[in-house]
């Protein structure tokens, strides 16, 4: 029974590329070494001069979806070091096609080097505009990522059909748009595992791994001085002789981040591919810490230009919490479009910080229908089958209420909360009118030995800085409640808080969101002028019912204001996570009071006390420019301007 189930599951995986209708047929084949008859992985399989294509898996097998328009075209199979294979497509559908590749080495003595090895690399770099696309190109491709445990068993597997928009190669860049057209996942982690997989940016290896487009360090003239380049034994690719050049840091050099080899066509000086790993210096300078990181990249010729064909990426890292990460990602170009295709709209683009595993589509063997994919190896198929079968077996022995596990309910509720939660920080100009003035405060509480007289100079000031940290929870898609704390800086000090409602409407729903913002808040803010510290001669001092027994006290004179704060503003989304906002507010005063505040400055900080005396008070004499008063010289103004950055957790 187990053998039957395994065979059935493998059959379902293999038919994953069957067409939904009659418009496409599937060519299946296996690529072997002509001498050893061993499977050849990573061989490039193309039809119609590589207009469409795929690559072989670890077992040498491939499955290629052939549109009716291409059934009379030629099939080509190529790999570095082998003679290329070419023939007309066989009648489809048909049996598995067996392709045998013959080794075609090029001896070192046959390679005519007219200059230094570095000279070859320089020439290849200078010819990038001649060998690679000079106008925008769109690649359709298949993406797969996984994270394996120490035994090599996948913890999860995620796959996607991507559209990758590539900028012209004259401009050096590692950026570009990626659109996830379809995707699926299988999560094979044990139940209740507390560590969440939040690996970000995986589909972007189509841009990050393109070493020619980004002019990676080992082909960047600014870093040639850091590398030692050597010519290795030559080989061929698509029956074209190539230079095989190894690169490594020069002795004692700590600025070279990579080590590996690259393949350069002897006739056109085009980079046909490279394989490399990060050096210890490269791992240290990388923004994401890792124990090792390796890449393998290949290009293919189409319409006289070389286009990205495959990217293979592996990262191993020990995480602060949870098991070690063994990430594996690969991208395979299946279709090349050199027409002037429009860029994908903002709402259709994937963002680098999007987590690919958040896809809600479950893994199933028939999901891809007629799309060309990269076939999983037999070992991967078996691993997935065994783990899914074990999960199904375990579920048979769980109680019926297992699906309503309270812990899972709590996690789901927490996820729903996070999807509505955002926070951000703002900086603005707090509206104070501050003329220059002299200020004197005398305080002598009755029945105490404390007598304080402090003099301060108030400097004229046009701008007072306020910072705010805000938490927001969305009630609906447009309406949210918020809670914020705020603090004043420069000459005045003070803390405050605000609660309110905000409304945000997207005026640009089909492109980068542009939001109109409106809000209403209730705000309380303290504006204080520090008066310095002094010794406390009275260990039993009580101020407004509060005991202040510390040896050292500090004083400040302040206003405490309550106000309503209606606001209008704009917000623009920088990414799916971040939004830049700007608001103009009008403060409607409700009440205000003047206070003298005393704080303990010595003793354990958690047990220090504060007390305030509301003015006017018999124990306090306040003078401004030597004139008795109960009002401080600064005045609250109505307009408040701020700019900030909001972050959405989900």
Summarised one tens digit per residue, pLDDT across range 21-76 is: 446 788 999 999 999 999 999 899 999 888 898 999 889 999 888 888 888 899 99
**CA-to-CA distance for 262 and 33, rounded, in angstroms?**
23
For range 579-596, the mean pLDDT: 94
pTM for the predicted model, two decimal places: 0.71
d(C-alpha 146, C-alpha 143), whole Å: 11
Is CATH 2.60.40.1120 correct for 2-101?
yes
The more confident residue out of 11 and 320 is: 320
* Mean pLDDT of the residues in the chain: 84
User: Where along the chain do its domains lie?
Assistant: 2-101, 108-365, 417-648
The DSSP output letter for 222 is G
Q: Which of 172-181, 231-240, 615-624 has the lowest mean pLDDT?
A: 231-240
Counting residues of the chain whose pLDDT is more than 70, the rounded percentage is 85
Tokens of 483: 């809670």
Residue 155 has pLDDT above 90, yes or no: no
pLDDT digits (tens, 9 = 90+) for 490-540: 899 999 999 999 999 999 877 788 999 999 999 999 999 999 999 998 888
pLDDT category at 548 given cuts 50, 70, 90 is: very high
Q: In this structure, what token pair is assigned to residue 268?
A: 């056109």
Provide CB contacts within 8 A for 263, sequence distance 6+.
80, 235, 237, 242, 243, 244, 245, 271, 272, 273, 274
Q: Does domain 417-648 have CATH number 3.40.920.10?
A: no
368 Cβ partners below 8 Å, 6+ apart? 16, 17, 161, 182
Same-fold call for 2-101 versus 417-648: no
Determine the pLDDT at residue 20: 41
pLDDT band at residue 183 using 50, 70 and 90 as cut-offs: confident
What's the whole-number mean pLDDT along residues 565-582?
A: 91
Summarize the confidence of residues 418-438 as an average pLDDT.
90
Distance CA 133, CA 305 (A): 6
Question: pLDDT tens for residues 216-254?
Answer: 999 999 999 999 999 988 788 777 889 999 999 999 898
Kindly report, residue by residue over 446-484, the tens digit of the pLDDT: 888 888 899 999 999 888 999 999 999 999 989 999 999
How far apart are the C-alpha atoms of 281 and 271, rounded to whole Å? 25
pLDDT tens column, 330-353? 999 999 988 777 777 777 888 776
Structure tokens at 361: 């589509």
What pLDDT shows up at residue 402? 44
State mean pLDDT over 314-323. Answer: 81
């Amino acid at each position: 029974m187990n053998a039957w189930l395994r065979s059935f599951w493998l059959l379902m995986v293999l038919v994953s590329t069957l067409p939904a209708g009659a418009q496409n047929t599937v060519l299946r084949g296996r690529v072997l070494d002509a001498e050893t008859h061993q499977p050849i992985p990573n061989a490039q399989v193309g039809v119609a001069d590589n207009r469409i294509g795929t690559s072989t898996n670890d077992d040498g097998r491939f499955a290629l979806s052939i549109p009716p328009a291409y059934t009379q075209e030629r099939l080509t199979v190529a790999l570095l070091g082998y003679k290329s294979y070419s023939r007309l497509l066989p009648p489809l559908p048909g049996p598995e096609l067996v392709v045998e590749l013959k080794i075609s080495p090029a001896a070192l003595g046959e390679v005519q080097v007219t200059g230094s090895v570095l000279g070859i690399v320089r020439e290849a770099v200078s010819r990038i505009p001649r060998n690679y696309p000079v106008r925008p190109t769109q690649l359709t491709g298949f993406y797969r990522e996984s994270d394996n445990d120490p035994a090599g068993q996948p913890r999860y597997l995620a796959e996607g059909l991507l559209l990758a928009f590539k900028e012209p190669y004259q401009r050096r860049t590692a950026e570009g748009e990626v659109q996830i057209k379809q995707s699926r996942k299988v999560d094979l982690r044990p139940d209740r595992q507390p560590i969440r997989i939040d690996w970000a940016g995986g589909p972007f290896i189509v841009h990050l791994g393109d070493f020619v487009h980004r002019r990676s360090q080992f082909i960047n003239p600014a870093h040639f001085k850091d590398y030692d380049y050597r010519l290795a034994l030559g080989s061929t690719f698509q029956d074209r002789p190539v230079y095989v050049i190894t690169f490594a840091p020069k002795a004692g050099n700590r600025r070279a981040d990579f080590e590996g080899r690259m393949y350069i066509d002897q006739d056109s000086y085009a980079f046909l591919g490279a394989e490399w790993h990060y050096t210890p210096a490269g791992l240290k300078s990388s923004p994401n810490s890792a124990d090792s990181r390796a890449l393998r990249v290949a290009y293919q010729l189409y319409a006289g230009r070389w286009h990205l064909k495959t990217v293979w990426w592996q990262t191993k890292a020990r995480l602060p919490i949870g098991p070690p990460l063994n990430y594996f990602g690969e991208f395979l170009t299946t279709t090349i479009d050199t027409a002037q295709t429009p860029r994908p709209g903002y709402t259709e683009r994937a963002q680098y910080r999007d987590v690919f595993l958040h896809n809600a589509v479950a893994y199933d063997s028939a999901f891809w229908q007629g799309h060309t994919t990269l076939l999983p190896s037999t070992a991967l198929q078996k691993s997935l089958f065994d783990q899914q079968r074990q999960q199904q077996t375990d579920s048979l022995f769980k109680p019926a209420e297992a699906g309503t596990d309270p812990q899972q309910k709590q996690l789901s509720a927490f996820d729903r909360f996070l999807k509505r939660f955002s926070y951000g920080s703002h900086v603005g100009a707090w509206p104070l009118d501050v003329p220059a003035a002299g200020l004197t405060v005398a305080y002598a509480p009755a029945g105490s030995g404390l007598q304080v007289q402090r003099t301060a100079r108030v400097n004229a000031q046009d701008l007072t800085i306020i910072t705010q940290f805000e938490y927001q929870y969305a009630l609906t898609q447009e309406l949210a409640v918020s809670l914020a704390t705020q603090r004043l800086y420069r000459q005045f000090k003070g803390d405050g808080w605000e609660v309110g409602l905000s409304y945000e409407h997207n005026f640009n729903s089909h492109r980068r969101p542009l939001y109109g913002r409106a809000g209403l808040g209730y705000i309380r803010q303290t504006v204080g002028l520090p008066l310095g510290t002094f010794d406390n001669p009275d260990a039993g001092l009580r101020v407004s019912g509060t005991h202040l027994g510390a040896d050292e006290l500090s004083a400040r004179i302040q206003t405490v204001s309550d106000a309503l704060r209606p606001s209008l503003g704009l917000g623009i989304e920088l990414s799916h996570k971040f939004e830049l906002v700007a608001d103009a507010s009008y403060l409607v005063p409700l009440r205000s009071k003047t206070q003298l505040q005393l704080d303990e400055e010595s003793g354990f900080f958690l047990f220090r006390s504060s007390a305030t005396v509301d003015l006017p008070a018999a124990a306090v004499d306040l003078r401004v420019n030597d004139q008795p008063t109960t009002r401080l010289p600064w005045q609250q103004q109505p307009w408040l301007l701020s700019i900030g950055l909001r972050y959405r957790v989900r």
